[in-house]
Structures are given as C-alpha cells and as structure tokens.
Chains A and B, each alone.
Chain A
C-alpha cells in the first residue's frame, strides 16, 4: 500500500488481487446474500481506500486497515438493508433446546426430496451458513474477522472498538451458539 501511495500502480494490482476472494465474506458480514450488494460494498471500500491513500500510514497490517474501512461501509449498508426482503436467511434460528441428535436427524430429512442427493458436508456447510447468519452482529463480526482474515485478537479488538477480553467473550459466545446449531460431526 505504501508503494501504491507513492504512485506504483503495479503494487496496487498485487495488493488488489489478494482481496478478490472476499465476496463470500462480505455477504456473510452484511448478512445479505445478494451478489450485487457485495459487489457494491467491495467497490465502495476500495474507492475509499484509494481516495484516502495519501493519509495511509502503516501502523497496522493492511488487512486490519482494509477491515476498518470495510466495517464503515458495511455499517451504513447494514442499517439500510436490515429490513430488506433479500435477507434470505432471516428467521432460521434454531430453538435453543434442540438436541444434537435432532440436528443430526435433520441432516437426513427424508421429507426434503433433494436431501438424499446432498452430501453430508454440503448439509453441514448449510447449517454453518444459517448458524452464522443468526449470530448477533457483534459476535458474527468478530467470528468472521477471525476465521476469514486470520488477524490477531488485538487487531480485531482495535477494529471493533473493544478490548481484547471482550473480543474473546464475543468469540466464545458465538462459538457456543454455533455448537447448538452445527453438530460436532460436521467438524470431523
């Protein structure tokens, strides 16, 4: 980024290419599974980064910087979009007293004609998608930052404006909720 700041367009291309695989992540972050919205958010994020490049300083990793800008963009988008019809995964929160056995039974639901053709892992992935979508915003955000970007707890804390311990708590609560909705066998 510092090289791009100095006018090196080739450096921008290298940096930009590393971020082309984030569409899934952005959709989860927004909790809106509309490809056009993810495209718009991605574009807006990069436009802000480009326009502010002269103010960029390498105080933290570029990923953390990117996440901060993305967070600002998604925050405003999320407020606008939360009531939209394309919030595909809303209302899918499982009852908290679902037992793991019931969850496993759900994986081979014979009432669904397509189920028998779906692999076990595909069903696990679907459960995870639904589970992530039903997490409270703060927990989902911290969890996605950790599992997608792999940045440190300290950086997540800085991006989300809380301390390290709160970040850990959010991750633990989030994981507890996932555990309720995604059976252990899915992780094996």
Chain B
C-alpha cells in the first residue's frame, strides 16, 4: 500500500513538472510572437521593418515631422545657430560623417557648389556629430568652403537620424519635413529631394488635393504613383472625363455609322 502511494505521488510529481514545462514553453512562444509583432499590444501592431544590409532603416513613426534649428560648432571651433524653421528658403540637411566611405562622395559633391544642382530656393547644410564623436581635424579637411558645416550631436538626436549619409528636406517658413531618405550617391539624394519638393508644391493646391482625393476614393487608387499622376494630369487640365483619355470613343463619335 505504501509503495502504491509513493508511486502515485511520484507520477503526480512528474506530471506536475511536465505541465509546468509545457506552460513555460507556451509562455515563451507567446512572448516571441508578441515581439515579432513589434511588441505593441493589440492585434493592429505592425511587424518590424526589415531592409537589406547597408540600407538605412526609416526613422521611427514617432520621429519629428517638424524641423528644428541647428546649434553646434563650425569646423573652425566657432559656435553657430542656423534657423531652419521659418527660414526664407528650404533647407536640405545632409547628415554626414568623416569615416563612412559613402559620405566621401557627398563631401566631394558639396565642395563644388556650382555643380550641386540646387535651385535658389534650396540651401544645403552639412551636419556631422559633435567633436566628442567626430574627428574635428578630419571634418575640417572635408568641410566645403561654400556650404555651412555644423558639428552637432544634438541635431542628430533632434532629427532622429538613423545612419550616415542621410538627407532631410525641411520647408522654409513652415518648418515641415518635406522628404527624407538615404542614397548611395549625391545625384540619387538630390533627385529624391527634388521629387519631394515637387510633391509638396503640387500638394499645396488644396483644391487639387481634394479633387485627387475624391478621384482616389472613387477609383480605389492607393499608390503614391497614381496620386502623383493624378496631380500632374489635373494640373494640366486633364480630368477623368477628358476626351484624350478615351480616344476610341472620341473616334467612334466622329466616325459616321
């Protein structure tokens, strides 16, 4: 009888250990699933963004949508503040470092302002981290003569810059961030920013935006390319009923039966 009780107790103990192990394993699986969903509560959380090695991750969704004034040091050791919000022109902030090889092409491009290809409504400013995290002598050697260079780790924090090189276009006046991104070469970044600028200028027409939004709702178009195409067509006076969009119909109407 005693042996039976002891045996049963041992079995119960083994089963208890098994159940605890299963529960623990289940909890770890749930935790992994939770992390894969971005760690946020609720079923609507987005999965984490993944990019190829060497490609910059986008700034977080909590990143500032407004520009901030730059304050830091110049390569000569002078203190400087440059107003970005409320400036008369748009500001292209190029976050660079002295060490990254990709940045070297940007430094070279900035050295020749005439070939930068920026219009009069756009100014470029190179921003590196502060002297505590950058080589002042290296930055002094790289800094272009005609483009302001500011050493400011605070600016990198303010703009939540993920990697160098990284470009952020801030609107003059409003201080809104019009566009941002990374690129391997200066022409890539310049074209990105030109597109962002063009988009923002098209978007400034409230009436046009309303019409495009209505079109998108009606047609269910969701792509950025579709929206841009709509803006350009409507800006040229070509709406959904424009005869040029239905050449066959127009021809049929003109051709006598």
Chain A partners chain B? no
Residues of B at the A interface (CB closer than 8 Å) are: none
